[in-house]
Amino acid sequence: MLRLVRLVALLLGLLLGGTWAYAWVTRAPGESLGDAFAGRLALLFGGSPAGGPSAGGLQLPQGMVLGGPFSLVDQSGRAVTERDFAGQWLLLYFGYTYCPDVCPTELGTIAAAMDSLGPLGEKVVPAMVTIDPQRDTPAQLAEYVTRFHPRMLGLTGSPEQVAEAARRYRVYFARVNRADAGDYLMDHSSFVYLVGPDGRVRSLFRPEASPDDIAAVVRAQLARAAAAS
Ligand code: NI
């Protein structure tokens, strides 16, 4: 019985923690974290969402803007900004090449989603922005991202450039030093972003989203954009 109580408490804790993290990522500018958390909890328990209909992925609350200008360096050492991707769709992930588990899984998921898109995938650029610019040089990124997909881009920059890009996408990251070794890990949020041709996030995917989930949303968003133009 005690084990069951512990298990239920653990699950509830995970659910609330996840909702809190999601609220943190998706809250609107000026919205307090408490309000955002209450709103996402209402969604979780069947309340109606504030935004319009979503084509899939996670719903972005109305008025919320994710994405926007950034200034980074690609894996060939060339300076790039959001203008270099104008008119293109991006499947964007923030991670780092030394990540022991989650990042490789998510980049594998993005690569599989790209394959699942077939020829439509040519309209989409898969990319990872590192949140560990100290170790992730352009050369390190180039070697890493192409292991997942031949067209995947790796983006880095100065610590300030990376922090600014992460802020635009509400990415959480923090260095975690390990007592037993000279190296360190990075703690970080792990959403996949579908960025539209205008540089703004259209859909957000939780870490457990499947390649088919992502591909379905990309197809729907591309079809919606084609119908609107
Ligand atoms: Ni990671």
> Which residues of the chain, if any, have pLDDT below 50?
42-55
CA distance 108 to 102: 10
At 25 the pLDDT is 66
195 C-alpha vs ligand 1 centroid, how far in Å?
Answer: 20
At 18 the pLDDT is 66
At 24 the pLDDT is 66
CA distance 160 to 167: 10
101 C-alpha vs ligand 1 centroid, how far in Å?
Answer: 6
136 C-alpha vs ligand 1 centroid, how far in Å?
Answer: 13
219: closest CA among 141, 128, 140, 118? 118
Tell me the domains of the chain and their CATH numbers.
Answer: 2-53 (no CATH), 71-228 (3.40.30.10)
Beta-bridge mates of residue 153: 127
At 65 the pLDDT is 84
Between strands 153-156 and 124-130, the pairing is parallel
107 C-alpha vs ligand 1 centroid, how far in Å?
Answer: 10
pLDDT digits (tens, 9 = 90+) for 86-107: 999 999 999 999 999 899 999 9
73 C-alpha vs ligand 1 centroid, how far in Å?
Answer: 20
Instruction: Evaluate whether 155 touches 128 at the Cβ level (below 8 Å).
Output: yes
Instruction: For residue 71, give the 3-state DSSP assignment.
Output: strand
Distance from the Cα of residue 47 to its chain's centroid: 25
2 C-alpha vs ligand 1 centroid, how far in Å?
Answer: 34
